Chains A and B, each alone.
Chain A
């Protein structure tokens, strides 16, 4: 515990002390309730009423912890756990009450001893008051006061731990939740992968294939045309289409997997994305090294999909991309000055949400009508890999 200074910590100490005192007094009521109510739990008819009593007392305890210690204790308890909690709570509360009684006893003793000293009577076993008696008494008081405060602090700690332990989710419950989260994210990952495959299939069929068909058709027309100048013009068009088809193919391949990620890492992959974008992309990349490949890949797709979406729908004039690493969380932020109103459940964004969720990350879309739109992903990272020599040479 830090040593408190100023008004707020003092208020906190006072509040905590009051809370302990109330808790100490309540302990007796709780103990009485536990002793009287426990046997009734065996009777099915009385069970619901006893449960109601348990619930009322536990809720009162939760309110006390929240009010005097600022602890938000969860309320996930069965009547059985609630009763066990109350039984132990009454013991802890009793300890608190005991400490308070000792403090009162101490204050009383000191007052009596001081009164004796002032009137010149002895306080110890000696025949008369020695010069060092007040000093000894003072030091003794100090020691006992310290112990009393320690006792109170201990009771307060026990009080809060007990609530968390009995009223919070059990370890098994926490595990069960984790498993269900993982199960759903796993399903979502598979879904996201399928989405991506569908998109690639469409990019191939609706982009590259159409171009090649057009190219073949132009060549076919050139063959059938009897007029040499016309066929020359058609061949020129065909040549253009062939080059365009190659560009399309490169784009699709890049969307399937940006090879630059493997070679130069996230930074160079994002740089080349910014270069290829039809809108100006301002990239601020503040990372001292490399994060793990899985995180880099997701971060890359967050940026590339968002930029693609922005170019398609946002009518923006510029895009800002920020990447930074703080406390082993990689934060990716994509802002645009477009019309806003992005639909977070739309195909592209929900796919990204799934991908980020699968990596235990957070994904938020802030896009009020009228803009601007900000898409943010926080990704927990594994180890940071420091720069290797050749990367530095290439940077």
Chain B
């Protein structure tokens, strides 16, 4: 995939670029701030942008604002945000889109190289990828605790993985059950949470996340 990187720490930027190159991706541009991210995205139209949240000049949420701007201007470009810590507000802002192609990971997740690359692939392929920690927090602090309480333990596990952006096949692999069993769980979850049976895998993730984040 063609990737644009935005990360202000030179050290990490170099490291990420090497990692992606080793895994066969093409880093078309590596920049250090939000403004650079926008111009590089406009110039190269990559498949995915990977961006840090805190970048110069103010070190608050430049990266996230640039990411939302990328979503607005170039909806076909996937956006994967790396954050220093879980910020529910940012995650929720990213979820508000109807479409997929978004991801929100904790920066520390990069150390789990496999998981990070997996999330990148999912976002690039039009899916969604949300950090298990984000999902855990959303599940823990959601205002819909009652309907969640009606889910079985197994259904809770499936919901968590679904919210992270895994496909049914991926969930089946992680829980060591058949794919049809996963599909049954998913249907039960959608019924119990009174969510519309959305087709399209990223839309279903977003439906769940919106439900949890609202």
Q: Contact residues of A with B, CB < 8 Å?
A: 202, 205-206, 209-221, 223-225
Contacts and interface: CB of A to CB of B under 8 A. Distances in A.
A210 B113 contact: no
Nearest to A215: B111
Given A205-B54, A221-B18, A213 B110 contact: yes
B75 to A, nearest CB: 29
A216 B15 CA distance: 10
A217 B9 contact: no
B19 A221 contact: yes
Contacts of A225: 22
A209 B84 contact: yes
Q: For the side of the interface on B, what is the size category?
A: 20 to 34
Given A218-B15, A221-B18, A221-B19, A213 B108 contact: yes
B95 to A, nearest CB: 24
Given A217-B19, A219-B111, 16 more contacts: A202-B59, A205-B85, A210-B11, A211-B11, A213-B110, A213-B111, A214-B15, A217-B12, A217-B15, A217-B16, A217-B111, A220-B113, A221-B113, A223-B113, A224-B113, A225-B22
A344 B146 CA distance: 56
A202 B110 CA distance: 19
Contacts of B11: 210-211, 214
A17 to B, nearest CB: 68
B110 A216 contact: yes
B199 interface: no
A209 B107 contact: yes
Interface in B75-126: 84-85, 107-108, 110-114
A206 B59 contact: yes
Contact of B12 (A210, A220, A221, A224): A210
Chain A, interface SS category: helix
A221 B111 contact: no
B16 to A, nearest CB: 7
Contacts of B12: 210, 213-214, 217
Nearest to A219: B111
Contacts of B59: 202, 206
16 contacts: A202-B59, A205-B85, A206-B9, A209-B84, A209-B107, A210-B12, A212-B111, A213-B108, A216-B110, A216-B111, A219-B111, A220-B113, A220-B114, A221-B113, A224-B113, A224-B114
Interface in B136-171: none
Interface string B51-71: 000100001000000000000
A210 B111 contact: no
9 pairs of A and B residues whose beta carbons are closest in the complex: A216-B111, A220-B113, A210-B9, A205-B84, A214-B15, A210-B12, A217-B15, A214-B11, A214-B12
B54 A206 contact: yes
A221 B22 contact: yes
A221 B22 CA distance: 9
Contacts of A218: 15
Which residue, of A210, A211, A224, A225, has the highest number of chain B Cβ atoms within 10 A? Answer: A210
Interface string B1-23: 00000001101100110110010
Interface in B10-41: 11-12, 15-16, 18-19, 22
Which residue, of B8, B16, B111, B112, has the highest number of chain A Cβ atoms within 10 A? Answer: B111
B111 A220 contact: yes
Nearest to B7: A210
Contacts of A217: 12, 15-16, 19, 110-111, 113
A195 to B, nearest CB: 14
Contacts of A213: 12, 107-108, 110-111
A269 B92 CA distance: 47
A393 B187 CA distance: 78
A181 B65 CA distance: 40
Contacts of B114: 220, 224
Contacts of B54: 205-206
B34 to A, nearest CB: 16
Contacts of B111: 212-213, 215-217, 219-220
Which residue, of B8, B11, B22, B59, has the highest number of chain A Cβ atoms within 10 A? Answer: B11
A210 B113 CA distance: 15
Nearest to A211: B11
Contacts of A220: 19, 111-114
A209 B9 CA distance: 11
